[in-house]
Chain A
């Protein structure tokens, strides 16, 4: 007899029931779900193939253009170009592009889902009260707890990796969209109402533009978290730089792991530069002072 907590109810039966239910879902719905997510898979694979197929300098140019559009300054553009070339020199170009594809897809989907949710949360206190604990759970639950069920549902591959990445990375964009909109100067919102703005006009002419710096901070965090998920995601067949790290560990090849790890760091710096310089430009637009 151990002196542990007394067993008041039969947890094993409950656990088994849960397992059976989940297995049922997998058997019943697995294929349907896979079909539903087929377009998403095509999108990622297409993105990956495209990035790998294009000559490296075209990709570098595209990144430079995106940086210019975001920052309107040449310093970050040069930095991004140099970092990308360094990535190529390390000999991990293709793997890096696979990682970029997965990360971009996860970030884009996170923003597409997260921003409307954040906006809705900012409008409704009830929804906010309900969502905050869910977001806390998503951020604290160990990744493997939901990674394994995703694999069971979809089989190893890019889709479960993408979904796990989204679950892990989406909370910041939701939280900061909500926060940004709630922090908009109420007098300016009132002014837009006084001039007869409909709720939608109010949202798009005042609330979203003024919340943009905060929202961008959320997008930046989401990007970084998505990037940090790629190593784990590679365990379930996502490929890319994470897979190289994993192989390095398995084969005890320190160099392989080190170089791939360095590649992930370089990608993080690149995306951080782009997002931050955009955020700074939006912020500057809101608080321009005399020229």
Chain B
């Protein structure tokens, strides 16, 4: 298990005139609908506890109104919780005063926004430098760092352009470069790719994966798109009506949905692309000599090609080099069948 970067302990958020009082009513058993009807308070989040490991991509997913955007804004205190604690490297960030909080936002966490939120009156490089300049870095140095980030996201040559001159995908890469420029340990990405069209979105997802392989930041990624969650997330948290329904790896959630809601959610997913061969390899099965080999961390879909050429079974080899077992078409079908 990786060391914990962000620990969220029983965080709740109520919007309204008297959030504390309303939260007490919720603790006493009042539900969300009655709270809204009788006291005109909105329960945004209730009793959220989770741990985000250093260097992982943690996806928080849910539909609109589930509270996911509210939750991510707690991690840099753009929104203050009504109850609970948020620990960053073991330190309670709710105890920070204004100055500490600003330093924390400038150096430790950076954010990427759904609608990019670039400064329209500033050029690409000025946008990327923004966080550094706020922190008081000398202009020449900030410029140098910004240039490096711009080339990292593949926008060299556009330094002097204005955001409105760029396409959506390019604007979001500026947003990403701006977040990377401060060298923050944690990236908060709030539906960062949701406003992009599908092909561009896929490119951006791939670019993020590639960057993440190089930089190993801790990424908190919000999305309403399950495919995106499964593609990017080392762990996925599913949120509904402000409560946490399940936390686990993509494969965990597909294999054992915690409740009906999660099960309905994952029903239409292409399981062959998510489930891994290693999880279904049968150690007792001995495959015929000359059977093709496949890595344990390959998806089931990758095994299709071997079966298509007429193989009776494939040998699954684990990351440690040992043979983990074998897979037959029958086994694969079993794994894919929705129970």
Q: Provide the bound-state CA to CA distance between A286 and B165, in Å.
A: 11
Among the listed stretches B115-123, B229-237, B249-257, which one makes contact with chain A, having 4 or more residues with CB under 8 Å of it?
B115-123
Given contacts A194-B105, A287-B164, is CB(A210)–CB(B134) below 8 Å?
no
Interface of chain B: mostly helix, strand, loop or mixed: mixed
A196 and B135 within 8 A (CB): yes
Select which of B120, B162, B164, B182 is within 8 A of A195 by beta carbon.
B182
CB distance from A26 to the nearest CB of B (A): 48
Given the interface pairs A190-B78, A194-B105, the reply to whether A201 lies near B119 with Cβ below 8 Å is: no
Q: Is the CB of A196 within 8 A of B131?
A: yes
* Interchain CB contact under 8 A, B117 and A187: yes
- Number of B residues near A (Cβ < 8 Å) is 29
Task: Among B78, B103, B118, B164, point to the contact of A194 (Cβ < 8 A).
Answer: B78
Is B88 in the interface zone, CB < 8 Å from A? no
Q: Which of B106, B118, B165 contacts A289 (CB 8 A)?
A: B165
For residue B313, CB closer than 8 A to chain A, the reply is: no
Partner of B111, one of A194, A201, A288, A290: A194
- Expressed in whole angstroms, the Cα–Cα distance for A182 and B323 within the complex equals 64
* B120→A210 contact, CB < 8 A: yes
Q: How far is the CA of A206 from the CA of B126 in the complex (A)?
A: 13
Is B111 in contact with A196, judged by CB distance below 8 angstroms?
A: no
CB distance from B131 to the nearest CB of A (A): 4
Whether A206 contacts B119 by the Cβ 8 Å rule is yes
For A290, the chain B residues whose CB sits under 8 A away are 165
Given A210-B121, A288-B162, A288-B165, are A196 and B106 also a contact pair (CB < 8 Å)? yes
Q: Considering only CB atoms, which chain B residue lies closest to A197 in the complex?
A: B134
Q: Please determine whether A288 and B119 come into contact, CB atoms closer than 8 angstroms.
A: no
Q: Which residue in chain B gives the minimum CB-CB distance to A285?
A: B121
B113 lies within 8 A of A187 (CB): yes
- Provide the B156-199 mask, 1 if CB < 8 A to any CB of A, else 0: 00000010110000000000001000100000100000000000
Does B102 make an interface contact (CB < 8 A)?
Answer: yes
User: In the docked arrangement, what's the CA distance between A182 and B119, Å?
Assistant: 16
Chain B residues near A285: list those with CB within 8 A: 121, 162
Q: Which of A187, A198, A205 contacts B102 (CB 8 A)?
A: A198
Q: How far is the CB of A175 from chain B (nearest CB, A)?
A: 23
Within 8 A of A (CB), among B60-105: 76, 78, 102-105
A149 at the interface (CB under 8 A from B): no
Q: Is the CB of A196 within 8 A of B134?
A: yes
Contact with B along A184-216 (1 / 0, CB 8 A): 010110111111111001000110011000000
Is B281 in contact with chain A by the CB < 8 A criterion? no
How many angstroms between the C-alpha atoms of A290 and B78 in the bound complex? 34
The answer to whether A195 touches B110, judged by C-beta atoms less than 8 angstroms apart, is: yes
Contacts of B105 in A (CB 8 A): 193-196
Whether a CB of chain B sits under 8 angstroms from the CB of A16 is no
The residue in chain B whose Cβ has the minimal distance to the Cβ of A185 is B117
Give the A interface residue count (CB, 8 A): 24
Check A42 for interface membership: any CB of B closer than 8 A. Answer: no
Q: What distance in Å separates the Cβ of A257 from its nearest Cβ neighbour in chain B?
A: 46
When distances are taken between beta carbons in the complex, the residues of chain B under 8 Å from A188 are 117-120
Instruction: Give Cα A93 to B115, complex, Å.
Output: 54
Given the contacts A287-B164, A289-B164, A195 and B134 also touching, CB distance less than 8 Å: yes
CB-based nearest A residue for B182: A195
Q: Judging by beta carbons under 8 Å apart, are B164 and A288 in contact?
A: yes
Other-chain contact of B119, A194, A196, A198, A205 (Cβ < 8 Å): A205
Whether A209 lies near B113 (C-beta < 8 A) is: no
A12 within 8 A of partner (CB): no
Output the least CB separation between B222 and chain A (Å). 14
> In the assembly, what is the distance between CA of A288 and CA of B76, in Å?
32
Is B58 an interface residue, CB under 8 A from the partner? no
- Are the C-beta atoms of A195 and B111 separated by less than 8 Å? yes
Residue of A nearest to B114 (CB): A187
Residues of A within 8 A of B130 (CB): 192, 195, 205
A288 to B103, CA, bound (A): 33
**Contact, CB under 8 Å: B103 / A190:** no
Determine the chain B residues whose CB is within 8 A of the CB of A192 once the complex forms: 130, 134
Determine if A286 and B78 form an interchain contact, defined as CB atoms under 8 angstroms apart: no
Which parts of B201-250 form the interface with A (CB within 8 Å)?
none
C-alpha gap A196/B134 in the complex (Å)? 7
Q: Quick check: A195 and B106 within 8 Å, CB to CB?
A: yes
Does A251 have its Cβ within 8 Å of any Cβ on chain B?
no
Q: Are A196 and B164 interface neighbours, CB within 8 A?
A: no
Which residues of A249-291 are within 8 A (CB) of B?
Answer: 285-291
The interface residues of chain B lying within 8 Å CB-to-CB of A206 are 119
Taking CB as reference atom, which chain A residue is nearest B110? A195
Please, how many angstroms separate the alpha-carbon atoms of A288 and B52 in the complex? 40
Task: Please state if B103 and A196 are interface contacts (CB–CB under 8 Å).
Answer: yes
Q: Could you write out 11 A-B pairs with CB less than 8 Å apart? A: A194-B78, A194-B105, A194-B109, A195-B105, A196-B107, A198-B102, A286-B121, A288-B162, A289-B164, A290-B165, A291-B165
CB-based closest 7 A-B pairs: A196-B106, A196-B105, A191-B117, A195-B131, A194-B111, A288-B162, A196-B102
